[in-house]
Amino acid sequence: MSFAVWLGFFVAACIIAVSPGSGAVLSMSHGLSYGLRRASTTILGLQTGLLLIFFIAGAGVGSLLMASEVAFNVVKTVGALYLIYLGLSQWRAKVAIGAQQAQLEVVVPSPRKRFLTGFLTNATNPKGIIFMVAVLPQFITQGAPLLPQLLILAATMCAIDLVVMHGYAFLASSMQRFFRDPRAVRQQNRVFGGLLMGVGAALFFVKRGAAAT
């Protein structure tokens, strides 16, 4: 792999990572609700899911998925329903208030649950698979060993996404002081819950042919 090819992938990965999506919404939501440190667990889950679909596409399984209408629709439906479920859970999240209304307590999911939420958010996203299948082959040098190239591209992609998602979470966590009031917290939950449900609903309209456009 030449430096020019790697640089092209670096630029493409930066653009994709910065583009708003379910991962960005989840990172901001958890950053605002639980703080940057706890959101890091969610972001690690996002990266694990990203690696999964990366190697699925790299191994050619993604191409088979794109070729099968039934398989693609199953993945699309599962991903969409999962995001809608996350959004609905966020929308209905309860806020515990202290006896004197002075302390606001947000119920924090366990690290395992936060990690799994991040993992499933990316792993069940058919748009991620579409992108990988459509774009990844353009940065693979034919005739060269495949695995070293995939490892380099995967490390580059995850490093970029890790930084960007932490940036989203940090920006959101820096606004926590503005969300101490119970009404503000409920409003925040509904905004991010609505965004996640919106992204999930949009996945129902994703077509297999979108990768070619």
Work out how many domains the chain is built from and give that number: 1
CA distances from 166 to 34, 123, 138, 160, 185 (A): 13, 19, 28, 10, 21
Domain extent, residue 174, equals: 3-212
Q: Give the Cα separation of 23 and 49 in Å (integer).
A: 10
Comparing 53-57, 96-100, 108-112, 161-165, the range with the smallest average pLDDT is 96-100
More confident residue, 66 or 39: 39
Q: What is the pLDDT of residue 159?
A: 95
Residues 125, 114, 33, 172: is their CA dihedral positive or negative? negative
More confident residue, 183 or 169: 169
Q: Give the Cα separation of 35 and 111 in Å (integer).
A: 13
Tokens standing for 169?
């979470």
CB 45 within 8 A of CB 118: yes
Tokens standing for 184?
């503000």
Share of the chain above pLDDT 70, in %: 76
Give alpha helix (H) positions in the chain.
3-18, 22-34, 36-58, 61-67, 69-91, 111-123, 126-135, 146-173, 182-203
- Is the predicted pLDDT of residue 103 greater than 80, yes or no? no
Q: Give the Cα separation of 153 and 53 in Å (integer).
A: 13
Cα–Cα nearest to 162, from 60, 20, 61, 14: 14
Q: What is the pLDDT of residue 179?
A: 59
More confident residue, 195 or 38: 38
Would you call 31 exposed, middle or buried from its count of C-beta atoms within 10 A (0-12, 13-18, 19+)? buried
CB 37 within 8 A of CB 166: no
More confident residue, 65 or 111: 111
Q: Give the Cα separation of 174 and 98 in Å (integer).
A: 23
Distance of CA 15 to the CA centre of its chain: 14
Q: What is the pLDDT of residue 211?
A: 41
Q: Give the Cα separation of 139 and 8 in Å (integer).
A: 8
Q: Give pTM, 2 decimals.
A: 0.72
